[in-house]
Structure 1
Amino acid sequence: MTYEGTLNKMQTELGNPIQYYLVFENSFLNVNQLLGKEIEIIFDGYQCLNCGKQKKIFRQGFCYDCFYSSPAVGDWIMKPELSTAHLGIADRDLDYESRVQLQPHIVYFASSSEVKVGVTRNTQVPTRWIDQGAEQALAIVEVPNRYLAGITEVALKNHFADKTNWRKMLTNDILEVDLIEEKKKVLELLPNEARDFFDIDAFQVAPLIYPVLQYPKKIASLSLDKTASYRGTLTGIKGQYLIFEDGTVFNVRGNEGYKVRISV
């Protein structure tokens, strides 16, 4: 059976284990059902997720022109502290930015390689944690807008990592930590604007269980730009990665906007 379409990040459903879905224009696929099976991924071209044109993808599923014009990929996405909608100041589109920035955001700890600090809208919990391959996560504070979350993250980045080591995450080389104990350390580190939102008892640790039959000892990343066709046996799904028996890993989110055929 063959499924074809343009890659978007896998949709997820919290469960034991987490369920993963690839959703295409005219079909969808529960990826968990492919565990232990041989599949083939064939690269068929590009389609920008914003304009829909068949133009080479630049970053995050967008062509070059859309990446530098769409409000969905402004600098404040990766750097929440640059958010300005709370001041009524636009970056690219104030209406869009107000809808996204002026809603409750969570600053959190996640354990996906070591302890890292991150930011997400509260509506993206636990999706954001799953996408990062976190083994467990714990909210630190919930604040009313993205700017406050951003300056809180910046303050904590001086003491905690803010990026996941994806190689350690995919080989399950995870540092065991007590996130509640880590959270107890942060009150004095928070900016004054965020301290009133801190409550040590407000949130619980969320454990996350991934559908992985076996973890590889060494990994090699599959690039569709370099390898237009790959066949292998799927042995796991974690974060937004497919893990194969030979140690090949494929970052679905990193290949958004790529048109593929997946044969089972």
Structure 2
Amino acid sequence: MQYQGVLTKMQTELASPVQYYLVFESSFIHMNQLIDKTLSIEFVRYQCLACGKDKKIYRQGYCYDDFFNQPQAGDWIMKPELSTAHLDIEDRDLEYEKKVQLKPHIVYLANSSNVKVGVTRKTQVPTRWIDQGAHEAIEIVEVPNRYLAGITEVALKEHVADKTNWRSMLKNDIKDENLVTVRDHLKQYIPDEALPYFIESNSETNIDFPVVQYPEKVKSLNLDKTPIFKGTLKGIKGQYLIFEDNTVFNVRNWEGYVVDLNIS
């Protein structure tokens, strides 16, 4: 079977294991069904996720111009503490920013390779955890806007990591932690403005990924350097396809790239 389309992050469904779908403009592929099959990925051209033009992708699926103009790529995306919509202050597009920033947000703990703190919109739970390859996660606070979530994350990352060791995550070099205990310990560091939103009693969410063979050494596929790749799919974790030869392919990193995908 052959498919062609522009890459965007895989859609997911929380199940045991997680179900993955690669969505193209005119079709979608249930990726779990491809485990143990041979896939060929070939880069065809660019397609900016904003303007749709065949322009070299700069970051996050956008060409250079759109990355610095689209509200979806504003600095507050990566740094929630920079959000200003609650003050009625525009960054790039106040209407869009209000739509996103002035919604309930979750500050959470996720364990992918180590326990880390993160922020996501409430509607993105548990999708965000799946995308990070977390095998367990728990909510800490639920706040009414992105700014409060951001300042909470800034305060907590003084006491817990805010990054994932993606290589350890992919090799499944992980250990279970008692996230309830960590959550309760971190309560003392939550800013006063966010403390009323602390979630007193909840339990961990556990996530199982469809992997039959983890890589021993991780080799990352770069479509710019290797525009044609062929390998046997052995698993999916986070937004990564894991192949038999230890190659891993981060689908989300290559958003905006049009590829031919052949399955045999």
Smaller-chain TM-score range? Answer: over 0.9
Secondary structure of the structure 2 residue equivalent to 1:212: coil
User: Are 2:141 and 2:197, in contact at CA under 8 Å, matched by a contact in 1?
Assistant: yes
What corresponds to 1:24 in structure 2?
Answer: 24
User: Are 1:183 and 1:200, in contact at CA under 8 Å, matched by a contact in 2?
Assistant: no
CA distance in 2 between partners of 1:181 and 1:215 (Å): 29
Q: Which amino acid aligns with 2:240?
A: Y
What corresponds to 1:100 in structure 2?
Answer: 100
Secondary structure of the structure 1 residue equivalent to 2:208: coil
Secondary structure of the structure 1 residue equivalent to 2:96: helix
Q: Which amino acid aligns with 2:247?
A: T
What corresponds to 2:194 in structure 1?
Answer: 194
Q: Which amino acid aligns with 1:262?
A: L
User: Are 1:16 and 1:209, in contact at CA under 8 Å, matched by a contact in 2?
Assistant: yes
Cα shift at 1:204: 2.0
- Give the alignment of 1:78-227 within 5 angstroms: 78-201=78-201, 203-227=202-226
User: Are 1:19 and 1:32, in contact at CA under 8 Å, matched by a contact in 2?
Assistant: yes
Aligned residue-pair number: 263
What corresponds to 1:3 in structure 2?
Answer: 3
CA distance in 1 between partners of 2:75 and 2:199 (Å): 30
Secondary structure of the structure 1 residue equivalent to 2:194: helix
Secondary structure of the structure 1 residue equivalent to 2:197: coil
What corresponds to 1:252 in structure 2?
Answer: 251
Q: Which amino acid aligns with 2:25?
A: E
CA distance in 1 between partners of 2:193 and 2:111 (Å): 26
Q: Which amino acid aligns with 2:159?
A: H
CA distance in 1 between partners of 2:199 and 2:171 (Å): 34
Post-superposition CA distance 1:108-140 (Å, at most 9, x none): 000001000000000000000000000010000
Cα shift at 1:186: 1.2
User: Are 2:142 and 2:199, in contact at CA under 8 Å, matched by a contact in 1?
Assistant: no
Secondary structure of the structure 1 residue equivalent to 2:97: helix
CA distance in 1 between partners of 2:192 and 2:174 (Å): 32
4+ runs of 1 displaced by more than 2 Å? Answer: none
CA RMSD of aligned residues (A): 0.6
Q: Which amino acid aligns with 1:186?
A: L
Q: Which amino acid aligns with 2:14?
A: L
What corresponds to 2:71 in structure 1?
Answer: 71
Q: Which amino acid aligns with 2:208?
A: I
CA distance in 2 between partners of 1:15 and 1:187 (Å): 30
Cα shift at 1:175: 3.1
- Structure 2: 5+ residue stretches without partners: none
Cα shift at 1:231: 0.5
CA distance in 2 between partners of 1:177 and 1:92 (Å): 40
Cα shift at 1:250: 0.2
Cα shift at 1:184: 1.1
